[in-house]
């Protein structure tokens, strides 16, 4: 379809229907007229720009080029010599990032890696947060496409469904990759940590300290691949050590750390829930928290009960911010900046027609902090 639109517009320009300097139909106008997606109409306009038939001016539209003028690609050559990739009718590439949220413990490093990769490639990164709300995610993807981004990096919302906009990207073969997630039934490249191996490493460390009754604290794992993989690694570690998995020790409905539920009221409810759980299960000597913010809740629950970390209760989690103000939990450190860089570079490769691996995983490093110690007694 984009080739048909391209050929029709090219003929209209050559026949004189659109003269030099005339504005040609926009992506939206072409999409509506031909009943196609905006990704398809955008591709047709990009092909016209590559042939030097039109000049695309972000925020203004696309205009018939003057054949006597220097083509956009040639005009941009000095920038290209410095490693800049050119797109959108001679403009520098623009890559969109759609992600749930970010903070000191996780997300900021990803953005650092992407931004640095964009700088090295002479292009730009733009960000939109979705707070884990699928409708926000759909709006963000549509908005990025309307801005004319040349590729997308998507950190999908937690949950079991991928939205229709992501499916359209797949169908239209638009260059995009997923970060920290895989979407079941979707053929798309993804970059993430090896979450199963990381969780297994953390659990094995606790076993090495003599802990056998370990509570697992997690948000609802339903169809969220990162969480599912971490649970799988945690269970695998038990199996290999011959230790029975006691799911009675697990709490699988920690909700306050989800993007739209991160309020003091909700955190208070989860702290009380964890404290009650520790009282009901005095055999627990260690906690494996799915993420840093859950580890903070567990630490506060222990304080509420008068238990000391790590003397009375050890805690291991994924990620922990660096700095003197942060409690140094023993944690699995993800290679966030490398993940961000790989995600950005993968999108650029896809845009240039190169293939990328369907799944890239990076090892998480165990960093021993001050939240773990040898198991020596249980509370009664």
- List Cβ neighbours of 253 (8 Å cut-off, separation of 6 or more): 219, 220
* Closest among 91, 63, 94 to 76, alpha carbons compared: 91
CATH classification of 91-192+336-362, choosing from 3.40.50.2300, 3.30.70.640, 3.30.2290.10, 3.20.20.70? 3.40.50.2300
CB of 219 within 8 A of CB of 254?
yes
Is the sign of the CA dihedral 240, 241, 243, 249 positive or negative?
negative
Q: In b/e form, how buried is each residue of 197-207, taking b as 16+ CB within 10 angstroms?
A: bbbbbbbbbbb
Helices (H) and strands (E) in the chain, counts: 13, 16
Task: List the structure tokens of 258.
Answer: 């989800």
> Residue 33 and residue 30: Cα distance in Å, rounded?
5
**Architecture category of domain 2-87 in CATH:** Orthogonal Bundle (1.10)
CB of 178 within 8 A of CB of 163?
no
Quick one: CA torsion of 197, 322, 190, 198, rounded to 10 degrees?
0
**What was the pLDDT predicted at 259?**
73
Sorted by where each begins, the domain ranges of the chain are: 2-87, 91-192+336-362, 195-335
**What was the pLDDT predicted at 377?**
59
Kindly give the pairing relationship between strand 61-64 and strand 23-24. Answer: antiparallel
3-state secondary structure of 214: strand
- 195-335: CATH number: 3.40.50.2300
- Mean pLDDT per 10-residue interval, the chain, length 380 residues: 86 88 87 80 84 78 78 38 47 90 86 94 94 89 92 80 81 90 76 96 98 95 80 97 95 88 91 97 97 96 96 96 78 96 95 88 96 76
For 261-283, give the DSSP string: G--HHHHHHHHHHHHHHHHH-TT
Is 195-335 in the same CATH topology as 91-192+336-362?
A: yes
Residues pairing with 177 in the sheet: 153, 189
> Residue 299 and residue 355: Cα distance in Å, rounded?
45
For 170-205, give the DSSP string: HHTT--EEEES---TT---EEEEE-HHHHHHHHHHH
Q: State the DSSP code for 291.
A: S
> Residue 205 and residue 64: Cα distance in Å, rounded?
65
> Residue 271 and residue 280: Cα distance in Å, rounded?
14
**What was the pLDDT predicted at 72?**
43
Range list of H helices, 62-107: 72-75, 77-81
Angle, helices 38-50 vs 27-34, to 10°: value is 120
Q: Please confirm whether the linkage preceding 310 is cis (ω < 30° from 0).
A: yes
> Residue 238 and residue 240: Cα distance in Å, rounded?
6
pLDDT digits (tens, 9 = 90+) for 324-358: 567 899 999 999 999 999 999 999 999 988 988 88
**What was the pLDDT predicted at 184?**
67
> Residue 82 and residue 193: Cα distance in Å, rounded?
32
CB of 222 within 8 A of CB of 189?
no
């Amino acid at each position: 379809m984009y080739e048909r639109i391209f050929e029709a517009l090219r003929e209209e320009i050559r026949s004189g229907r659109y003269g030099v300097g005339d504005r040609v139909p926009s992506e939206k106008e072409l999409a509506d007229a031909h009943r196609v997606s905006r990704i398809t109409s955008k591709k047709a306009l990009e092909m016209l720009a590559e042939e030097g038939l039109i000049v695309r001016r972000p925020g203004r539209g696309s205009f018939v080029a003057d054949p006597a003028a220097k083509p956009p690609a040639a005009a941009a050559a000095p920038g290209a010599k410095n490693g800049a990739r050119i797109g959108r009718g001679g403009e520098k590439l623009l890559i969109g990032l759609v992600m749930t949220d970010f903070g000191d413990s996780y997300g900021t490093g990803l953005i650092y890696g992407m931004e640095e990769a964009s700088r090295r490639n002479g292009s730009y990164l733009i960000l939109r947060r979705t707070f884990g709300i699928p409708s926000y995610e759909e709006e963000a993807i549509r908005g990025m496409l309307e801005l004319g981004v040349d590729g997308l990096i998507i950190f999908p919302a937690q949950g079991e469904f991928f939205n229709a906009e992501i499916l359209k990207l797949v169908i239209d073969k638009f260059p995009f990759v997923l970060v920290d997630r895989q979407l079941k039934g979707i053929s798309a490249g993804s970059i993430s940590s090896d979450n199963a191996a990381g969780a297994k490493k953390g659990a094995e460390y606790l076993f090495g300290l003599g802990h056998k009754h370990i509570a697992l604290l997690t948000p609802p794992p339903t169809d969220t691949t990162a969480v599912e993989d971490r649970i799988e690694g945690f269970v695998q570690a038990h199996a290999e050590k011959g230790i029975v998995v006691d799911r009675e020790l697990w709490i699988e409905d920690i909700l306050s750390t989800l993007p739209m539920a991160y309020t003091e009221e909700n955190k208070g409810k989860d702290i009380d829930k964890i404290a009650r759980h520790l009282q009901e299960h005095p055999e627990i000597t260690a906690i494996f928290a799915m993420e840093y913010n859950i580890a903070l809740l567990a630490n506060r629950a222990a304080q509420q009960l008068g238990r000391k970390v790590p003397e009375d209760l050890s805690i291991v989690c994924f990620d922990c911010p660096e700095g003197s103000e942060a409690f140094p939990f023993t944690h699995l450190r993800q290679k966030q900046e490398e993940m961000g860089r790989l995600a950005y570079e993968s999108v650029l490769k896809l845009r240039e027609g190169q293939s990328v691996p369907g799944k890239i995983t990076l090892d998480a490093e165990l960093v021993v902090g001050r939240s773990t110690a040898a198991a020596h007694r249980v509370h009664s």
